[in-house]
Amino acid sequence: MAGLTIGKLAAGEGVGVETVRFYQRRGLLALPGRAGSGFREYSEDDRQRLAFIRRARQLGFSLGEIGDLLCAGDGRSTDDVIRAAEAKLATISAQITELTLLQGRLRRLVRVCAHGDGVDCVALHVGEPLPEARPDRVASAAYEVASTASAATEEASAASADSESDSEGAMP
């Protein structure tokens, strides 16, 4: 098979030439020698390596993590790849939990600001001293916080359980 030019390699994998060069500077792709034509020719192995880098980026791996995965792949050790994927999965699960809690807090803020007056919406008082709290509003706000935190925890647990069940039946 004739080698691929950098343009054909890049186009075949849906990236730009500068992306290929960037991966070369980062040590993720080798810089092939020049052929008799004077052009650098990339092999099928180079194309597969570029495809792997793209898939790993889509899965959320950093370039440093991809470099580690590629080194593990060269040594044919699947244990390193499994450990890296499990660590990435744990990180993403933690981020989902954090985002679910943040979503609950923002929903509460929207409800409080939409249904109360300016005194109820703390976000309107940034940099100002807070007005005196009225006991009836304090109790209402405490209930709102407790119910939102409980709902957010339930949503996070459900999302985590869904992602675990999805990943158990997924193909690698």
Round to whole Å and give the CA distance between 79 and 59.
Answer: 18
DSSP state of 30: -
Q: Radius of gyration (Cα) for the chain, nearest Å?
A: 26
Domain ranges (residues) in the chain: 6-74, 92-168
Of the candidates 1, 6, 31, which has an alpha carbon nearest to the alpha carbon of residue 17?
6
Report CA-CA distances (Å) from 26 to 37, 62, 69, 99, 109: 26, 12, 14, 32, 44
pTM of the complete model = 0.59
Using an 8 Å Cβ cutoff, are 103 and 147 in contact? no
Q: Please give the chain's pLDDT, 172 residues, in tens.
A: 468 999 999 999 999 999 999 999 999 999 998 888 888 999 999 999 999 999 999 988 999 999 988 886 666 567 878 888 899 999 999 999 999 999 998 898 888 888 876 666 766 566 655 555 555 554 555 455 555 555 555 655 555 545 444 444 443 3
Using CA atoms, how far apart are residues 144 and 166, in angstroms rounded to an integer? 32
Which CATH entry fits the domain spanning 6-74: 3.40.30.10, 2.40.40.20, 1.10.3720.10, 1.10.1660.10? 1.10.1660.10
